[in-house]
Amino acid sequence: MDALLDPTTGGYTGTSTTTLANPVYIRLKTPLGSWWADPTIGSRLHELEREKDTPRVRGLAIQYAEQALQPLIDDKRAQSVTVTSADGQTGWLILLIEVVDVSGNPQHFKHPVKVS
Residue ranges of domains in the chain: 2-114
Alpha carbons 59 and 64: distance in angstroms, whole number:
9
Contacts of 44 (CB under 8 A, 6+ apart): 31, 32, 64, 67, 68
Q: What is the mean pLDDT of residues 23-28?
A: 94
Query: pTM of the entire structure?
Result: 0.90
Residue pLDDT, tens place only, 65-114:
999 999 999 999 999 999 999 987 888 999 999 999 999 999 999 999 99
Q: Which CATH class is domain 2-114?
A: alpha beta
